[in-house]
Amino acid sequence: MARTLSVGYPSGMSDRALKERAARRRPWARDSKGAPRRAPPGPFQPGFWRSPLRGPWLTSFLGTMLGVLVLIVAATGLISQSSYQPQLQHNSPFGSSGVIGPLLALPAWSPSWLYAVTQGLHITVGLMAIPLLLAKLWSVFPRLFAWPPARSPAAIVERASLLLLVGGSVFEFVTGVLNIQVFYPWHFNFVRAHYYGAWVFIAAFAAHVLVKLPVVARAYRERGVLKPLRDDLVHTRLEPRDPDGLVALSPARPTLSRRGLMALVGGASLTLVAVNVGESVGGSLRRLALLAPRGRVFGTGPNDFQVNKTAATAGVVAAASDPAWRLRVTGVRTLTLSRRALMSELPQRSHTITLGCVEGWSTTQHWTGVRLADLAALVGAPAGASVLVQSLQNGGGYSQLTLAPAQLNDPRTLLALCVNGADLSLDHGYPARIIAPAIPGVHCLKWVKSLTFASV
Amino acid sequence: MSLFKRSYGASPLHLIAHLAAFAIAAYAIAQIVRGGTVVNFIAWFVGAAFLHDFVFLPLYSGLDRLARHRTRGRRGPATVPVINHVRVPALISGLLLLVYFPLILGLAERRYFRATGHHLEGYARNWLLITAILITGSAVLYALRVRRAHV
């Protein structure tokens, strides 16, 4: 059976002719006496790899789909980075984004759910891409053992870039996947490493796409884009032998057709999405999110929805429940306002706003409170001011941050006091919290202590 | 063939594209290194790829080979190889474990509780449940296919 599969290569070259041509082309594959250098045994031997499915078409097809998903994940990741407004004080866990990026930003008029959508896509599409990445790496795995390791300076350069590409992609997926599960077995700062790691990946990815585009185009031209998916198991044949040596020299009998492999990869992708996406979409889908970190369904009370960082964790239980709490608002003048004053002396506004977490989950609730712009006017904040928001939390991540002028002036940006018609619970930010449209959820600071308006 | 292509082995564009990529990557890595913990970062960057290439891939290929050997001959009707009915549930279940092991094994209980106010529970059960559904579904499908092939 194996023999019948290895005949009839359209390239029309015998094994021997191919080997001789290869030897002529790469003099460094010969030792000082002119005899061909032998590859070490095992995986370095061309006959070691036996899967009849490997070949340029398979790798091209997997690579095309993976490439599309990677572009979505990269774009939404860059959007998220800019949504943190890292150039403003206290907003980024590692300072500004340096000279590269952020390149993409959401417009100020975005619907409130837009960040939840882009970040939900970042996580969902990222999960979806994992089976494709694994299949893609599997499809080119024999290349890791190509012998000789490099046939030209160009090959050395390409191998170095592949280290960045494979290392970068696996690093990004591993750190991202562990981050959504709040598991941090490393010492570096996740945000910094995930952001700059992405640039390593994107750079190597761009070079890889550029260099491989002709190979992909040729594979599609010769085999058709979708045609190989028509073959069932009985009609699954080897691809014609390729210069990169992806096609097996001594193939095993196929046990899976190419479309079977794609169904497996696609099925794995859909499963990963199915068990997670409910935490992003919400509603009744949340019950299906069997493995999502934030798939828990809460009760039906006004405050029964996902919490990020409890009041106990933030160490604010005593300060936040203290009846003597006053909000300190500073502009040209300083006011201290009680919760009662905020509720009875200022116009109350209500908006349905979706909070989206950078970890991909979201929650849509109906919030009521005072417009931040009204508070700014009350203390005579200068036009174009930004606002420093400080919480009762004493130090630690996101105990204070800055909202940009556009965010501050958005009529939907509230200092929220109530949710779904009830007072905020302690875990949701009582006595008052920021609610703003289309920004990372963690920027909707809870347990607000003071607002300081100042020109940037 | 130009002199450049002969000595370098590819077009100048190849070299330019890669040099640009190296420059961006070098800058990005320098920014990560600036945050300290250089050795830990490099260990994770290289280690992740190493783990995939020399542990993970050989492991699943080996298991697949083992499964193929164990199921050889048990083909039933020629068009219904049993191997894929083992492969599919095993690979998907294994993938779910690979992705969600921190939740399934309860590795970040303290941090999870501090973030959500709830204990890490139910994930191992849910994973086993999904695995059971996958295995059962695959077995039922196999039985149906065999029956259809016999009719």
What share of chain B has pLDDT > 70, as a percent? 94
Q: Give the best residue of B31, B65, B133 to mutate against chain A (max A CB count within 10 A).
A: B31
Q: Is A389 on the interface with B (CB under 8 A)?
A: no
What CATH number corresponds to the domain at position A377? 3.90.420.10
Q: Note whether residue A290 is domain-resident.
A: no
Residues B80 and B142 in one domain: yes
Q: Residue B130: list chain A partners with CB under 8 A.
A: 271, 275, 290-291
Residues A230 and A350 in one domain: no
Mean pLDDT over B71-96 rounds to 82
Give the domain range for residue A395.
311-455
Look over chain B and give the mean of its residue pLDDT values, rounded to a whole number: 91
Q: Give the best residue of B69, B116, B118 to mutate against chain A (max A CB count within 10 A).
A: B116
Closest residue on chain A to B119 (Cα): A296
Domain total for chain A?
2
Q: Which of A171, A187, A207 sits opposite B18 (nearest CB)?
A: A207
Residue B40 to chain A, least CA–CA distance (Å): 6
Residues A226 and A374 in one domain: no
Q: Note whether residue A282 is domain-resident.
A: no
Closest residue on chain A to B87 (Cα): A264
Q: Is A272 on the interface with B (CB under 8 A)?
A: yes
Q: Which of B27, B44, B45 sits opposite A100 (nearest CB)?
A: B27
Digit-by-digit pLDDT tens for chain A (456 residues) are 333 333 334 445 566 666 666 555 555 555 666 666 688 989 999 889 999 999 999 999 999 999 999 999 999 999 999 999 888 888 877 766 666 666 788 998 899 999 999 999 999 999 999 999 999 999 999 999 998 888 899 999 999 999 999 999 999 999 999 999 999 999 999 999 999 999 999 999 999 999 999 999 999 999 999 999 999 988 999 999 998 889 999 999 999 999 999 999 999 999 999 999 999 998 888 889 999 999 888 888 999 999 999 999 999 999 999 999 999 999 999 999 999 999 999 999 999 999 999 999 999 999 999 999 999 999 999 989 999 999 999 888 889 999 999 999 999 999 999 999 999 999 999 999 999 999 999 999 999 999 999 987
Q: Is A180 on the interface with B (CB under 8 A)?
A: no
Q: Which of A141, A167, A192 sits opposite B46 (nearest CB)?
A: A167
Residues B24 and B82 in one domain: no
**Contact across the interface for B107 and A183, Cβ inside 8 Å:** yes
Residues A318 and A372 in one domain: yes
Residues A137 and A53 in one domain: yes
Residues A10 and A99 in one domain: yes
- CA–CA distance, B84 with A261 (Å, rounded to integer): 10
pLDDT value, residue A37? 67
Amino acid at A369: G
Q: Residue A141: list chain B partners with CB under 8 A.
A: 53, 57
pLDDT value, residue A3? 37
Residues B61 and B82 in one domain: no
Give the domain range for residue B97.
75-151
Residues A320 and A203 in one domain: no
Residues A62 and A200 in one domain: yes
Answer positive or negative: Cα dihedral of B139, B144, B145, B149: positive
Q: Of A259, A274, A289, at which residue does a domain stop?
A: A274
Domain total for chain B?
3
Q: Which of A98, A164, A294 sits opposite B31 (nearest CB)?
A: A98
Q: Residue A100: list chain B partners with CB under 8 A.
A: 24, 27-28
Q: Residue B95: list chain A partners with CB under 8 A.
A: 130-131, 134, 268, 271-272
CB interface of A with B, residues 278-297, below 8 Å = 290-291, 293-294, 296
Count of CB pairs separated by less than 8 Å, A with B: 206
**Contact across the interface for B99 and A272, Cβ inside 8 Å:** yes
Q: Note whether residue A200 is domain-resident.
A: yes
Residues A240 and A320 in one domain: no
Residues B26 and B6 in one domain: yes
Straight-line distance from the first to the last Cα atom of chain B, in angstroms, rounded to the nearest whole number = 63
Q: Residue A199: list chain B partners with CB under 8 A.
A: 24-25, 27-28
Of A28-42, A220-234, B9-23, B50-64, minimum mean pLDDT range:
A28-42
Residues B87 and B45 in one domain: no
Write down the ipTM of this complex: 0.94
Asked if B97 contacts B124 with a C-beta cutoff of 8 angstroms, the reply is no
